[in-house]
Structure 1
Amino acid sequence: MELEKLSNGIPLPEHVTTEPRCTDEDVIALPRCHDSEATPEEHEEFLPQNQSQVIDFVGKTSLGMSIFNLSNTIMGSGILGLAYAMANTGIILFVILLTSIAALSAYSIHLLLRSATIVGIPAYEQLGNQAFGAWGKVLAACVITIYNIGSMSTYLFIVKSELPLVIGAFVGTTSTSGEWYLKGDYLIVIASLIIIMPLALMRQLGYLGYSSVLSLTCMVFFLISVIYKKFHVGCLVEDHNLTQPLTVMINSTSEDNVCEAKLITFNSRTAYAIPIMAFAFVCQPVVLPIYTELRKPTQKRMQRVANISVLAMFVMYLLTAAFGYLTFYDNVQSELLHTYKGDIADNLIVCVRLAVLMAVTLTVPVVIFPIRRALLQIFFADKPFSWVRHIVMPIVLLVFVNILVILVPNIKDIFGVIGATSAPTLIFILPGIFYIRIVPENLEPLNSRPKIQAACFAAVGFLLMVVSIFSIIMDWASGENQNIGGH
């Protein structure tokens, strides 16, 4: 939709040469009004306050609650797979990769916020529409949908595998006894109906901040427990202990070194490290919705939310990976909780499993929001808000994902592809090319430093995607494919 003037009659600034397309399914955000010399760096409000009559919930979410929401979106089941990634990269290489991906994720959010602030568009998919027209919008929506369906699947797989263990610990039996309440297939359906669906039907993402606080609290408890267990679990290989020195191991498969902490290591499973880390830091699809609901929404204020959230999750990821790895070394499994399988009757481990279950279950409704937004952008972009669509879409999504989790015994291969394709696309490729296309050339020429950086950023993402896919395919071909962790 072409707009020559803002709703208050003031013309668009001259430096914005790209015609904005501002249609959105439930958030109607017109371009900002500022004089011709204003720039995004001045941090004027993204959504004018006089738009409150259009969207009655714009600007009601506090800075702290927005941080909790974004942090909860970043944090996911990937925290269970990072110790496995460290085991297959070594401590030094892992820290370098994790730091790089965290910094690049924050930079990609900067590119999105800058692009969105210039043209006043509050949706990732609409930035695609602004940059490349309808096909760009469809591409962005499809990538977001595929990524989040994969993310939901990993969450519900955790519910399927861990909830029977928790219930069995409370009732004093195991899943082999045959009771229906110890079958994971039944339990994910019950959890979807009782917990996930009511939260997914909420219209305002900001209200889920309270469940985000609880979810993050559960994961902090998980981290504390991992640190505690590091000093109470001996090495699983006889004649080794937890005081082995740090060593540099390259392509080592010796059984004699399984309890030594490796500084750098390479093997066939190293190919999964980058997809796991990239998958763990994807939050870009919900950045703009959180931006629109932030109180006093400015680019500087939202960037602060993003930086704090990414830094907090980086610290949690690094500590969990380090202490999980230094507890089990080469024996760490793809999902860290499974490595404690010998401690099923341990009360602390039972509580940890319960905390993780609460965290991932409460994250699913937050994940549903960007999926629903993406589908609405594709099929109902010009339609007003409808409670029917708002209710039907999460129901269909949950039915589909439940069936997928029930029928597919192992999602490791699908997840490997999703982590190697959709994550680099959302973090690196699309933000970079959106920025190049959307920011006007009279404001930033193509040969300007910011646009050259954005082009290099997108190129790095494409290179990572190609290398990851090729490495995973080679691992499949070698027949050494291992179970890997999730987002």
Structure 2
Amino acid sequence: MLERFSCRTDSSSTTRGAGRAKRSRAKCLWTGVLEGMGVRVQPRGPVHLQGQKEPSVTRCAGFLLPTSMKKAEMGRFSISPDEDSSSYSSNSDFNYSYPTKQAALKSHYADVDPENQNFLLESNLGKKKYETDFHPGTTSFGMSVFNLSNAIVGSGILGLSYAMANTGIALFIILLTFVSIFSLYSVHLLLKTANEGGSLLYEQLGHKAFGMVGKLAASGSITMQNVGAMSSYLFIVKYELPLVIQALMNIEDTTGLWYLNGDYLVLLVSLVLILPLSLLRNLGYLGYTSGLSLLCMMFFLIVVICKKFQISCPAEIAFLINETVNSTLAQPTAFVPDVAFNMTEGDSCQPHYFIFNSQTVYAVPILTFSFVCHPAVLPIYEELKGRSRRRMMNVSKISFFAMFLMYLLAALFGYLTFYEHVESELLHTYSSVMGADILLLVVRLAVLVAVTLTVPVVIFPIRSSITHLLCATKDFSWWRHSIITMSILAFTNLLVIFVPTIRDIFGFIGASAAAMLIFILPSAFYIKLVKKEPMKSVQKIGALFFLLSGVVVMTGSMTLIVLDWVHNASGGGH
């Protein structure tokens, strides 16, 4: 039975008479709102027996509501967090809240299967019901900037110099600027949709917007993005580990040596190191290795800038690259099929500002792949101390601007070092010219350790998503757990072995999953879930154009990439 409550503002007042209660209710501006929502407002106060205390009530927008009323109902009356308040109060942000990666490890979820303790930023895939309890954020502004920057940066930075070599400096800067601005606008749409939709999970927003189809689209895009990230990490192992072994063992003649074959080495690393770590039910400390990746990439950027002033641009640089690759690698065409060596001496060492060729089509997908962080935005938002949409947007602006500068510097100095001879993986290009350089060897070792420890972290959300889609109601099984893990790792290894270059991974994933996560899904969710703005409003029209531009980018890039594959296959170059 619905508890009685009066339309009054003072919980310490005595019980009112029937007539006075009617007058108070008539003057109350919120009575119609309450009755329209099915809440019955009594014309008199609660009846008490002598000696009884007045029922416990909670103040809410001028009303005294029973404390037994759920906070989810209070959220209907409270101030929405999307009002861009710069501070946080308990009365103004009772939005739907979900456990974060830190909260999932605490005692509140101690009885949950470790496989379901989705402590990673990208792995909150398994929640089946809403958590309506208020959860204040605990992460500082500065640490949130670091976390989001860490979510943005990845192996994509290794391919940016190649993108600049096939677009020119000016066109690359234009594309980089637009992609970063569009990605930031996408974060704005995502945060506003999360507040309106009452969910801090990407997949749940998809389910709220379009049912199971939306959930599958979001989950599939995130899974594809993670598979692409895994493939790029293993490609780095395939590229760099043979060179590290060769430098450490001081091997000159590499003919017929299996332990310098990238395919064998990536299989060995996957079986000996990655698989045992991936089979753990709770990855624990490995969740923090992503921070190591950011530090390694910053170290990599410093080395790229320094090496620009140590490496000249001789006319025979193309000959050196061809000779080094063909003499040191067991599969030369698997590493640099995309480097053109028909430049003249004047062209080889001159920067170009606008370039259009068959490889230019890969520039936008590589850039979109490099800026994908959107599945991590909502968990970081939930953990932000003093949570508000304006505060989170400030975090995003700083993070995106920092990554914009980092990407621009890495691409620019890498391009100005090798010009048109940049390979699709920049770090490998240095070995073609400098050989066994100690500083580059340290960079390679650091990057190899970081990516090897990051692969199990990326496998975790993929496995969790597959488990909850196929076996959500079943108890944990080591057999199922192991089979799913080995299947994911085997599929990724096949991609790395048979896909010719890391450029193809960047291009395909950037044109498909990354375009979905940045352009299409956030704008579609915004249009569907944000009800308070009419379809003819500037915001909705902008989101619609953003969605259409995402469709154009995805279909156009995919079409041109497939045509390039067909052309290379028919010409024997791919």
- Normalising by structure 1, report the TM-score: 0.79
Which of 542, 547, 550 pairs up with 1:453?
Answer: 542
Q: 1:83 to 1:68 in 2, by over 3 A?
A: same
One-letter amino acid of the structure 2 residue matched with residue 456 of structure 1: F
One-letter amino acid of the structure 1 residue matched with residue 389 of structure 2: Q
CA–CA distance in 2 between the matches of 1:297 and 1:384? 36
CA–CA distance in 2 between the matches of 1:483 and 1:174? 28
Which of 54, 59, 79 pairs up with 1:38?
Answer: 79
Q: 1:180 to 1:87 in 2, by over 3 A?
A: closer
Which of 292, 302, 327 pairs up with 1:214?
Answer: 292
1:224 positional shift: 0.7
Name the stretch that deviates more: 91-100 or 165-174.
Answer: 165-174
CA–CA distance in 2 between the matches of 1:159 and 1:151? 13
Report how many residues are paired.
445
Name the stretch that deviates more: 389-398 or 419-428.
Answer: 389-398
Which of 290, 299, 314 pairs up with 2:404?
Answer: 314
Q: 1:70 to 1:46 in 2, by over 3 A?
A: farther
Q: Deviations over 1:162-189 (max 9, x none)?
A: 1121122112226826555444344334
1:214 positional shift: 1.7
Q: Deviations over 1:271-329 (max 9, x none)?
A: 11111111111111232344445556543444344333322221111100000011111
Name the stretch that deviates more: 143-152 or 53-62.
Answer: 53-62
One-letter amino acid of the structure 1 residue matched with residue 250 of structure 2: G
1:463 positional shift: 1.2
- 1:184 and 2:184 matched: no
Greater C-alpha radius of gyration: 2
One-letter amino acid of the structure 1 residue matched with residue 360 of structure 2: T
Q: 1:107 to 1:448 in 2, by over 3 A?
A: same
Does the aligned pair in 2 maintain the 1:81–1:334 contact within 8 Å? yes
One-letter amino acid of the structure 2 residue matched with residue 78 of structure 1: G
- 1:233 and 2:233 matched: no
- 1:349 and 2:427 matched: no
Once the two structures are superposed, the pairs formed by residues 272-287 of structure 1 within 5 Å of their partners are 272-287=362-377
Partner residue, 1:269: 359
Name the stretch that deviates more: 125-134 or 301-310.
Answer: 301-310
Which of 90, 93, 117 pairs up with 2:195?
Answer: 117
CA–CA distance in 2 between the matches of 1:174 and 1:128? 55
- 1:429 and 2:520 matched: yes
Partner residue, 2:458: 367
1:115 positional shift: 1.4
CA–CA distance in 1 between the matches of 2:294 and 2:201? 25
Which consecutive residues of structure 1, in runs of 5 or more, have no partner in the other structure?
A: 1-12, 18-29, 241-251
Q: 1:116 to 1:344 in 2, by over 3 A?
A: same
SS at match of 2:535: coil
CA–CA distance in 2 between the matches of 1:124 and 1:345? 45
1:470 positional shift: 2.9
One-letter amino acid of the structure 1 residue matched with residue 550 of structure 2: G
Once the two structures are superposed, the pairs formed by residues 42-191 of structure 1 within 5 Å of their partners are 42=85, 44=93, 46=95, 54-55=108-109, 59=137, 63-173=141-251, 176=254, 181-191=259-269
Does the aligned pair in 1 maintain the 2:168–2:355 contact within 8 Å? yes
Q: Deviations over 1:88-139 (max 9, x none)?
A: 1111111111111111112212212221222332321221111111111112
CA–CA distance in 2 between the matches of 1:301 and 1:207? 29
CA–CA distance in 1 between the matches of 2:539 and 2:463? 32
Partner residue, 1:8: none
Which of 541, 556, 560 pairs up with 1:471?
Answer: 560
Q: Which has the higher contact order (CA 8 A, sep 6+)?
A: 1
1:37 positional shift: 5.7
1:220 positional shift: 0.9
Does the aligned pair in 1 maintain the 2:527–2:544 contact within 8 Å? yes
Partner residue, 1:399: 490
CA–CA distance in 2 between the matches of 1:356 and 1:32? 49
Does the aligned pair in 2 maintain the 1:125–1:374 contact within 8 Å? no
Does the aligned pair in 2 maintain the 1:87–1:330 contact within 8 Å? yes
Q: Deviations over 1:18-61 (max 9, x none)?
A: xxxxxxxxxxxx96953536222246265569998755777565
Q: 1:177 to 1:211 in 2, by over 3 A?
A: same
Does the aligned pair in 2 maintain the 1:219–1:359 contact within 8 Å? no
Partner residue, 2:420: 330
1:254 positional shift: 6.1
1:223 positional shift: 0.6
Q: 1:391 to 1:122 in 2, by over 3 A?
A: farther
CA–CA distance in 2 between the matches of 1:444 and 1:203? 44
Does the aligned pair in 2 maintain the 1:47–1:292 contact within 8 Å? no
SS at match of 2:359: helix
Q: 1:403 to 1:473 in 2, by over 3 A?
A: closer
1:455 positional shift: 1.0
One-letter amino acid of the structure 2 residue matched with residue 116 of structure 1: A
Does the aligned pair in 2 maintain the 1:206–1:293 contact within 8 Å? no
CA–CA distance in 2 between the matches of 1:294 and 1:133? 29
Does the aligned pair in 2 maintain the 1:221–1:355 contact within 8 Å? no
Q: 1:106 to 1:384 in 2, by over 3 A?
A: farther
Name the stretch that deviates more: 394-403 or 323-332.
Answer: 394-403
One-letter amino acid of the structure 2 residue matched with residue 79 of structure 1: I
SS at match of 2:228: helix
Identical counterparts, % of pairs: 52
Q: 1:49 to 1:179 in 2, by over 3 A?
A: closer
Q: 1:483 to 1:157 in 2, by over 3 A?
A: farther
Name the stretch that deviates more: 230-239 or 287-296.
Answer: 287-296
1:225 positional shift: 0.7
1:427 positional shift: 0.6
CA–CA distance in 2 between the matches of 1:291 and 1:193? 36
SS at match of 1:210: helix
Name the stretch that deviates more: 312-321 or 332-341.
Answer: 332-341
Name the stretch that deviates more: 193-202 or 169-178.
Answer: 193-202
Does the aligned pair in 2 maintain the 1:160–1:184 contact within 8 Å? yes
Which of 387, 400, 420 pairs up with 2:511?
Answer: 420
Name the stretch that deviates more: 45-54 or 74-83.
Answer: 45-54
CA–CA distance in 1 between the matches of 2:484 and 2:388? 31
CA–CA distance in 2 between the matches of 1:47 and 1:326? 50
CA–CA distance in 2 between the matches of 1:206 and 1:115? 31
1:384 positional shift: 8.6
Q: 1:74 to 1:157 in 2, by over 3 A?
A: same
Cα RMSD between the aligned structures? 3.7
1:192 positional shift: 3.8
CA–CA distance in 2 between the matches of 1:204 and 1:67? 26
1:213 positional shift: 2.4
